[in-house]
C-alpha cells in the first residue's frame, strides 16, 4: 500500500452479528477506484459503519474478501493494515492526555519516524487543516468541537496513508462549521488525491462530496452504486427514489454550474447572471422573477449564452 491512492474492492462481503436475525451486510460487491471520493450513504442500520470497519478489520469478515490494491486485508496483520489507513470517527476519539501535536504524531511515532520529521509533519498538517501551529501544545479539551475534528483529520493524515476512512466525521457539528469542513475535505481530496471512503446518512452531504455514492438499504443490501448525477437521474428502485427525495431533479441541477453546461446561443433579454451560478439557482431566479430567460455572462462580463426554463428541463434529459 504505497503511492498516493489505493483501490478497494469489496468482493461478495457478508457480515452477520451474533444473535441478529438479519445480516448487517449481505453480499456486498463494490469496486472503489484509486483516488475516488466514495460516500457510503443510507438509512440508520444499513450497515455503513460495518462496511467501513471491515476495511480496517475493527470488525471481522464473515464471508467474501476485501482487497486493497489487490492484496487481501486478511493477508496483513490488523495492526500493520491499520497503520496504513487513516481513520476518522464522529466522536473523534482524540487522546485526552496527549497534546494536539502528540495526537497528530501518533502513527508516525509508531512507525518510528525521527522526532524532527514528526514535528515538521505535524506543523505541515496543522496548516493543511487550517489550525494554528501554536495549537500543537494545547490539549484536546482546550479546543472547540470543529477544531477537534480538524485535529482528528490531521491525525488520520499524519503518515500520508493512501486510504482514508471517515465515519460521519461531521455529524456532531453545527451547520456552518459543517459546511466549512465539507469544503475543506473536498479541497483536501483534490490536493492529496487519496482514496476516501466516507460514511454519512445525509444524502445532501453525499451528493455534495462524493465522486461516487453507494446507497446501502435495509438488511445490508447495496441498492445502487454510481455517480451522484446518475443516481439522481435514474434511481435504481423505489427505495433509492424515496431516499434521495422528490426534489431529485433540482438536486441534480444543483450539481452543475451554468459555465459547465451547454447553453442556448446568446439571444439578449432578461437579467444577467454569472456562469458560476448553479443551474438550480438559475431556475429559482426564473421562477421567482417570472422571467422567460436569463443572460449568462462569462468571467469578463461578456454574454456567453442564454438559459430558459425549457432549456433547463432539457438538461435533465441528457
Ligand X SMILES: Nc1ncnc2c1ncn2[C@@H]1O[C@H](COP(=O)(O)OP(=O)(O)OP(=O)(O)O)[C@@H](O)[C@H]1O
| CB-CB neighbours of 267 under 10 Å | 12
Q: Give me the residue label for grid cell 514535528.
A: 119
β-partners of residue 216 are 222
- Determine which residue in the list 78, 269, 274, 289 makes contact with other proteins, applying CB under 8 A: 78
Q: Binders of other proteins among 46-75, rule CB under 8 A?
A: 53, 56-60
User: Can residue 244 be called a binding residue for other proteins (CB under 8 A)?
Assistant: no
* Interatomic CA distance for residues 6 and 70, integer angstroms: 9
For residue 109, the Cα-to-chain-centroid distance in whole angstroms is 28
> How many CA atoms does the CB half-sphere of 22 hold within 13 Å?
10
Q: Roughly how many angstroms between the first and final C-alpha of the chain, as a whole number?
A: 39
Nearer to other proteins, 83 or 121 (CB): 83
Conformational region of residue 38, where left means phi above 0, alpha means psi within -120 to 50, and beta covers everything else: beta
User: Can residue 97 be called a binding residue for other proteins (CB under 8 A)?
Assistant: yes
* In the complex, least distance from residue 28 CB atom to ligand X, rounded to whole angstroms: 11
* Interatomic CA distance for residues 318 and 314, integer angstroms: 7
- Determine which residue in the list 24, 104, 153, 207 makes contact with ligand X, applying CB under 6 A: 24
Nearer to other proteins, 157 or 223 (CB): 157
Residue span binding ligand X (CB under 6 A) among the ranges 42-50, 121-129, 152-160, 263-271: 42-50
Nearer to ligand X, 8 or 294 (CB): 8
User: Can residue 201 be called a binding residue for ligand X (CB under 6 A)?
Assistant: yes
For residue 129, the Cα-to-chain-centroid distance in whole angstroms is 16
User: Can residue 195 be called a binding residue for Mg ion (CB under 5 A)?
Assistant: no
- Determine which residue in the list 36, 49, 147, 306 makes contact with Mg ion, applying CB under 5 A: 49
User: Can residue 93 be called a binding residue for other proteins (CB under 8 A)?
Assistant: yes
Nearer to ligand X, 51 or 279 (CB): 51
> How many CA atoms does the CB half-sphere of 259 hold within 13 Å?
11
User: Can residue 144 be called a binding residue for other proteins (CB under 8 A)?
Assistant: no
**Sites of contact with ligand X (CB under 6 A):** 17, 20, 24, 42, 44-50, 201
Amino acid at each position: 500500500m504505497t503511492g498516493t491512492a489505493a483501490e478497494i474492492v469489496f468482493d461478495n462481503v457478508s457480515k452477520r452479528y451474533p444473535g441478529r436475525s438479519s445480516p448487517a451486510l449481505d453480499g456486498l460487491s463494490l469496486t472503489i477506484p484509486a483516488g475516488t471520493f466514495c460516500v457510503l450513504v443510507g438509512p440508520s442500520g444499513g450497515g455503513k459503519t460495518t462496511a467501513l470497519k471491515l476495511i480496517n478489520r475493527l470488525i471481522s469478515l464473515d464471508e467474501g474478501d476485501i482487497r486493497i490494491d489487490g492484496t487481501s486485508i486478511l493477508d496483513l496483520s490488523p495492526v500493520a493494515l491499520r497503520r496504513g489507513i487513516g481513520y476518522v470517527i464522529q466522536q473523534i476519539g482524540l487522546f485526552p492526555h496527549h497534546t494536539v501535536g502528540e495526537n497528530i504524531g501518533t502513527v508516525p511515532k509508531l512507525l518510528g519516524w525521527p522526532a524532527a520529521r514528526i514535528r515538521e509533519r505535524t506543523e505541515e498538517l496543522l496548516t493543511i487543516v487550517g489550525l494554528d501551529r501554536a495549537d500543537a501544545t494545547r490539549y484536546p479539551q482546550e479546543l472547540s468541537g470543529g477544531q477537534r475534528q480538524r485535529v482528528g483529520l490531521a491525525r488520520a493524515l499524519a503518515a500520508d496513508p493512501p486510504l482514508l476512512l471517515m465515519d460521519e466525521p461531521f455529524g456532531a457539528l453545527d451547520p456552518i462549521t459543517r459546511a466549512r469542513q465539507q469544503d475543506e475535505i473536498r479541497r483536501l481530496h483534490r490536493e492529496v488525491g487519496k482514496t476516501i471512503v466516507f460514511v454519512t446518512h445525509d444524502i445532501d452531504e453525499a451528493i455534495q462530496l462524493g465522486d461516487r455514492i453507494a446507497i446501502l438499504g435495509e438488511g445490508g443490501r447495496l441498492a445502487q452504486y454510481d455517480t451522484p448525477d446518475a443516481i439522481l437521474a435514474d434511481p435504481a428502485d423505489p427505495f433509492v427514489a424515496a431516499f434521495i427525495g422528490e426534489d431529485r431533479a433540482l438536486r441534480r441541477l444543483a450539481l452543475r454550474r451554468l459555465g459547465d453546461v451547454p447553453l442556448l446561443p446568446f439571444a439578449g433579454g432578461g437579467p444577467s447572471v454569472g456562469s458560476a451560478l448553479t443551474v438550480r439557482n438559475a431556475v429559482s431566479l426564473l421562477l421567482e422573477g417570472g422571467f422567460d430567460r436569463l443572460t449568462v455572462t462569462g468571467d469578463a462580463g461578456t454574454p456567453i449564452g442564454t438559459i430558459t426554463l425549457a432549456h433547463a428541463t432539457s438538461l435533465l434529459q441528457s
